Structure 1
C-alpha cells in the first residue's frame, strides 16, 4: 500500500575546477515497500529541467535504482564501487552514461528517511564531475 510523502531532492555537481552547482526540488510523491525494498515515485518539475518526467526510485540496502520516464528517460543503478552504464534520452538526443559511486547510503523506514549518493558521472565517455544526490522522505 502506498502513502503520500514529501520528497526533497538535493543534487550538487562539482566540476573539474571545483565549482559547485546545487539544485533542490521539494514535491509530493508516493512511497511503498515491496519485498523488503522501498519505492519512491514523484514527478519532476520545471526547476529540475525535466518537467513532464516521472521518477521512480527503488532503494535496497546497498543498491539504488533510478528510473525516469517521460520527456526525459534514464535508468541508472548505484552500487558502491561498481561502475554502471546507462543511457540518458532527451528530446534533443541520447547520451551514454556511466556512474561510479563511492557512497550509497539508504536509511529508510516506512515513516521516511534518506538516500545519499556520491558518484563520478560520465556522459558520452567524458567525465562531467563529482555528484552528490540526497533524497529525503517525510510523511505528509
Structure 2
C-alpha cells in the first residue's frame, strides 16, 4: 500500500518564549510489516533542503530518520532515553532524547503522533520539546 498524504509537522520548544516551527508538505504513506512508514522531502523553509525525512511508526515507538544534507536517526520510545548523531553541513553533534510522553494513533487512513521530550544537543541544557505529526491520506 502506497498512498499520497499531506504531512503536518509542528514542533514547539518550551523555553522562556515558545518557538513554534510548522511544516505542511506532501509525502508518501506506506503500511509495513510492523507498522507504517512516512516519507517526504524537506524544503528550503525547514532549513534542510536536499534532505528526505522518513518516519518509521510502530505501535509504541517511532524513528525519525533524515538522509541527505542533514543525516540522523532519532528514536522515540515512551519514557526512554536514546542517543543519536546529528550530521549537518556544519559538523556532527551528539543528541540525547528523553521521551517523556508518547501517543501514537495511526492506522491505514493516517493519524497523529504526539510526543513530549527533552532534547540535549552537544552537552547544552536540555530543551523541552513538543512534536506533533499529522498524516492525512489523500
Task: In structure 1, list runs of 5 or more residues that go unmatched.
Answer: none
In 2: Cα distance, 1:22 partner to 1:33 partner: 30
Aligned: 1:5 with 2:14: no
Partner of 1:28: 26
In 2: Cα distance, 1:83 partner to 1:36 partner: 22
Residues 1-140 of structure 1 mapped to structure 2, 5 A cutoff: 1-15=1-15, 18-140=16-138
User: Is the CA contact (8 Å cut-off) linking 1:120 and 1:127 kept in structure 2?
Assistant: no
Shift of 1:36: 3.0
How many pairs does the alignment contain? 138
Task: In structure 2, list runs of 5 or more residues that go unmatched.
Answer: none
Q: RMSD of the TM alignment (CA)?
A: 0.9
User: Is the CA contact (8 Å cut-off) linking 1:116 and 1:135 kept in structure 2?
Assistant: yes
SS of 1:47's equivalent in the other structure is: helix
Please report the TM-score for the alignment, with normalisation by the length of structure 2: 0.96
User: Is the CA contact (8 Å cut-off) linking 1:85 and 1:96 kept in structure 2?
Assistant: yes
Which of structure 1's runs of 4+ aligned residues deviate more than 2 A?
A: none
In 2: Cα distance, 1:50 partner to 1:37 partner: 26
SS of 1:51's equivalent in the other structure is: coil
